[in-house]
Each structure stands twice: as C-alpha cells, then as structure tokens.
C-alpha cells in the first residue's frame, strides 16, 4: 500500500511497479491525498494494473473513486475514507486500522490537518474546515496517530504560541520539535489527543483562542485565525 504525498511522477510509479514485481508482490494500491502536488492530476494512464484511489475526478490517473465512508481492505488493514473538503473540494483522509492488532489506528490527513496546524482554504470555507477537523477527524479515537502531508510543525507551533502565549502544551511541544529538528528526526506523527492541546484550529471552541480572535463563534474564530495565519510572519527564535 502506498500513500501518495507528492511529488509523485509517472517514472516513480513505474519504478514502484517494477520493485513490487521483482518481489512477487503485485501492484500496490495508491491512495491519492494531495491532488495539486502530484503529476497524477494530469490526464494519464497508469499501466501495470496499478489501482489509484481518490476522491477527485481531477486526478487523471484515478481508477477507483471513493466517497465519504467508503471502505477498502489492503492485506490485513481496513481503510475508511473520510471526506474533508476545504483545502481542495475533493480532499479525502484515510483512517487505517488493523483488527486484532496492538498498534493504535492511524489517519493520513494530507493537507487538512498538520501537526499544530491545518491547510489553507483554497477551495473551501471555514465552516468546511471546522467540520473536517472537529466533526470528522476530531471524532476518531484520541490515540489515533496523525500522518500529515507536510511537516510544518515548528512554524505552526510558533503561530499557536502567538494565539495562546500561556499554553504550556504549546511551549513544551515547540521545545520538543526544535530538538527533533536539530537531531534530524521527524516530528510526525502526532496524535489526535495531542492536537486538541496545542493546535489552534482544533481549539476554536476554547475561550482562549476565541478571545484572541475577538469572536465567540467557533466557525468565525476558524476563519479569523486562518486569515491571520496566512499573513503571519514567523519569528526566528
């Protein structure tokens, strides 16, 4: 199973198919998340029996379109497709579980949810992002591991600190992320439980975030802080 995070070229797909064939594995499915970061958005034909799943017809190599709550099975893994339109109108996140396994579930969130942040509202609204983050992803099990499409963790946490300067969870996570970065280590994944403690876009119902935005409605708060984040100048500290 391959989750496309871009840039993903046809040459890399061919190499992937050849590598799988040499190991007798057959062609793995591709779960398309980041439409605008991949050459798959072009009108092309993928050969070698490769299956490409996604939620947007603009993925030119799409072989199997999925919708909200569509389910897939890859080996021993169960995959539930979650529609999260906003960054792009056809954005899909993939919730992965392994029945009987000891590992916690995982969700591949593309450009909807980042560690301590969220994607820009390119093709959607604050209401859609609120639903995606709080009513779809936010209702998954708290221990779900979050694998996002980009690693903007430090910059996102600096904005979160700007929104909630007294939030200790943000301060601790930022110090942790800086140490990870200095050691050349990733800051992904996080967990949904953690995101609710330091991600301002997951915390739009909290009074501290609403006070920063000067609003009392969570959707309006989402709109205000996203607009502010788009113009935010990241400090160098």
Q: What is the largest CA-CA distance in the chain?
A: 59
Encoding tokens for residue 12?
Answer: 């890399």
The residue extents of the domains of the chain are 1-65, 66-231
| Cis, peptide link before residue 138, omega less than 30° from 0 | no
Given this model, what pLDDT does residue 74 score? 87
Rounded to an integer, what distance in angstroms lies between the CA atom of residue 70 and that of residue 47? 24
- Measuring CA to CA, which residue among 79, 75, 77 is closest to residue 32? 79
Rounded to an integer, what distance in angstroms lies between the CA atom of residue 9 and that of residue 32? 13
By DSSP bridging, strand 106-110 and strand 113-114 are unpaired
Place of tokens 């301060």: 171
Judged by average pLDDT, the poorest of 29-33, 48-52, 74-78, 175-179 is: 29-33
3-state secondary structure of 148: strand
User: Using one digit for the tens of pLDDT, what is the confidence trace for 171-230?
Assistant: 999 999 999 999 999 999 999 999 999 999 999 999 999 999 999 999 999 999 999 999
Encoding tokens for residue 228?
Answer: 């502010």
CA neighbours closer than 13 Å in the CB half-sphere of residue 131: 11
- Measuring CA to CA, which residue among 141, 155, 182 is closest to residue 237? 155
First to last CA, the chain: 39
Rounded to an integer, what distance in angstroms lies between the CA atom of residue 86 and that of residue 55? 13
Its pTM stands at: 0.84
Query: Has domain 66-231 been given CATH number 3.60.15.10?
Result: yes
- Measuring CA to CA, which residue among 169, 162, 139, 158 is closest to residue 209? 162
User: Using one digit for the tens of pLDDT, what is the confidence trace for 107-123?
Assistant: 999 999 999 999 999 99
- Tell me the mean pLDDT in the region 149-169: 98
């Amino acid at each position: 199973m391959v989750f496309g995070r871009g840039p993903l070229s046809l040459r890399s797909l061919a190499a992937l198919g050849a590598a799988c064939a040499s190991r007798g594995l057959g062609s793995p499915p591709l779960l398309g998340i980041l439409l605008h970061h991949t050459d798959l958005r072009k009108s092309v034909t993928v050969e070698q029996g490769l299956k490409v799943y996604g939620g947007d017809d603009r993925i030119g190599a799409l072989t199997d379109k999925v919708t909200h709550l569509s389910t897939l099975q890859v080996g021993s893994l169960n995959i539930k497709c979650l529609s999260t339109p906003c960054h792009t109108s056809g954005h899909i996140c993939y919730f992965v579980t392994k029945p009987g396994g000891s590992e916690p579930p995982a969700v591949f969130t593309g450009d909807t949810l980042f560690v301590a942040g969220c994607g820009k509202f390119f093709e959607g609204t604050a209401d859609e992002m609120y639903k995606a983050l709080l009513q779809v992803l936010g209702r998954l099990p708290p221990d779900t591991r979050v694998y996002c499409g980009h690693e903007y963790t430090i910059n996102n946490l600096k904005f979160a600190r700007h929104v909630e300067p007294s939030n200790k969870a943000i301060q601790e996570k930022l110090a942790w992320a800086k140490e990870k970065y200095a050691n050349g280590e990733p800051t992904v994944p996080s967990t949904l439980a953690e995101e609710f403690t330091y991600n301002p876009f997951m915390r739009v119902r909290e009074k501290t975030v609403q006070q920063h935005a000067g609003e009392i409605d969570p959707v309006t708060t989402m709109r205000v802080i996203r607009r502010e984040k788009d113009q935010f100048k990241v400090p160098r500290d």
